[in-house]
């Protein structure tokens, strides 16, 4: 599980909580699932998003072209499991349209409505990836463990990938996905202990599943908003 500084995670969860309160389908937080997650502490009154750096309005570093699908749900029974399990995933294509080759090392975090953070592709059975690849009909889709590395120039060198999570909550309601590794923009801030912390330009995608409390996992997935943040 990825370490996230507490003071940054608190601000992150404050934003997700605001989205959850505004969504009519959001329900009270259920019991924790078996999947490993990080729960953020309550946001201090003095901690506001305005205190942290924001991405530049104008390009100041390299940035890759990143195209992605909406989150999708799939149920798969792996060879090592006696029962089927539900998984969520996002497919994507990344293209290097900069002026030189770039190192592509993506990270995908899913943040639930109650503030738990799940890093993608942790202990995901191979059968899940194979099922998604077959369902999507994309023979060029690359497993997350293999997609990182040098990304060459041009559309012919674009890579197709997928980020996968075991379903963290039977009633997802509202959730956010944070995607980093597509931009070279960074900012340095001091943590609560005075030590430097590097923030990276990150794409934040906010989603709502309509009627999730009535038909778990079957509702329409709606993108509420997206923005660039420093995280």
What are 120-174's pLDDT values in tens digits? 999 999 999 999 999 999 999 999 999 999 999 999 999 999 999 999 998 888 9
Residue 180 corresponds to which tokens in the numbers above? 């980093």
Check whether 212 has a pLDDT greater than 50: yes
- Residue 217: what pLDDT? 62
Measured between alpha carbons, how far is residue 113 from residues 68, 167, 169 in Å? 22, 13, 10
| Residues 206/130/124/27 CA torsion (nearest 10 deg) | 30
- Summarised one tens digit per residue, pLDDT across range 8-59 is 444 444 444 444 444 444 344 344 344 445 544 433 333 444 467 899 988 8
Asked whether the beta carbons of 198 and 15 are under 8 A apart, the reply is: no
pTM comes to 0.77
> Does residue 196 surpass a pLDDT of 50?
yes
d(CA 14, CA 16) in angstroms, rounded, equals 6
- 199: exposed, middle or buried (Cβ count in 10 Å: 0-12, 13-18, 19+): buried
| Distance from C-alpha of 108 to C-alpha of 47, rounded to nearest angstrom | 24
pLDDT tens digits, one per residue of 174-189: 999 999 999 999 999 9
pLDDT at 59: 83
- Looking at residue 29, its pLDDT comes to 39
Of 30-44, 77-91, 139-153, 212-226, the range with the highest mean pLDDT is 139-153
Spans of all domains in the chain: 6-230
């Amino acid at each position: 599980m990825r370490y996230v500084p507490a003071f940054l995670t608190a601000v992150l969860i404050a934003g997700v909580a605001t989205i959850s309160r505004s969504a009519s389908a959001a329900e009270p937080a259920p019991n924790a699932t078996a999947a490993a997650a990080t729960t953020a502490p309550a946001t201090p009154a003095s901690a506001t998003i305005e205190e942290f750096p924001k991405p530049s309005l104008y390009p100041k570093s390299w940035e890759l072209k990143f195209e992605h699908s909406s989150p999708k749900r799939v149920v798969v029974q792996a060879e090592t499991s006696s029962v089927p399990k539900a998984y969520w995933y996002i497919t994507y294509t990344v293209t290097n349209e900069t002026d030189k080759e770039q190192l592509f090392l993506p990270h995908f975090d899913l943040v639930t409505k109650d503030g738990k953070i799940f890093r993608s592709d942790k202990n995901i059975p191979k059968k899940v990836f194979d099922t998604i690849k077959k369902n999507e009909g994309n023979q060029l889709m690359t497993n997350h463990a293999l997609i990182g590395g040098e990304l060459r120039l041009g559309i012919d060198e674009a890579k197709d990938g997928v980020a996968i999570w075991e379903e963290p909550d039977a009633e997802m309601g509202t959730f956010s996905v944070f995607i980093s590794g597509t931009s070279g923009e960074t900012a340095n801030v001091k943590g609560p202990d005075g030590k430097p912390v590097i923030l990276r330009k990150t794409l934040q995608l906010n989603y709502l599943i309509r009627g999730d409390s009535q038909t778990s996992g079957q509702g329409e997935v709606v993108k509420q908003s997206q923005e660039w943040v420093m995280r």
